[in-house]
Amino acid sequence: MNKKPKDLHTRKETIRKHIIRLLKENSFTAKEMSKLIGISEKDVYFELENVSRSEKLEVEPSQCNICGFVFKKRDKLTKPSKCPICKEGSISDPRFSISD
């Protein structure tokens, strides 16, 4: 069962273009974009990888909610599973935006 992105057919734009448009307007987590567009979080991360090749993708890094460690040097766009300092799994999602 294929879920079509909400309102995508009426706008005549691709998922990638929709993500670019959203990220130029505001910053979002992959989870927020997933809900807005109607695709899986995994698909959002796939699209973000491609968007980063053509646009200046800004990433507000994940942060440990327990000790405050910020994942500044992370190459992956996905959320880390555990903090390297306190070993806890309470991590904020990274936020994405596009700057001109």
Taking the domains of the chain in order of start, what are their residue ranges?
12-98
DSSP state of 81: S
Please give the pLDDT value at position 100.
Answer: 74
Tell me: the pLDDT tens digits for 33-88? 999 999 999 999 999 999 999 999 999 999 999 999 999 998 899 999 999 999 99
Yes or no: is domain 12-98 CATH 1.10.10.10?
yes
Spatial CB neighbours of 41, under 8 Å, sequence gap ≥ 6: 30, 31, 34
Give Cα separations from 47 to 4, 63, 76, 78, 90 (angstroms): 15, 23, 13, 12, 25
Spatial CB neighbours of 59, under 8 Å, sequence gap ≥ 6: 77, 94, 95, 96
pLDDT (mean) for 15-24 = 95
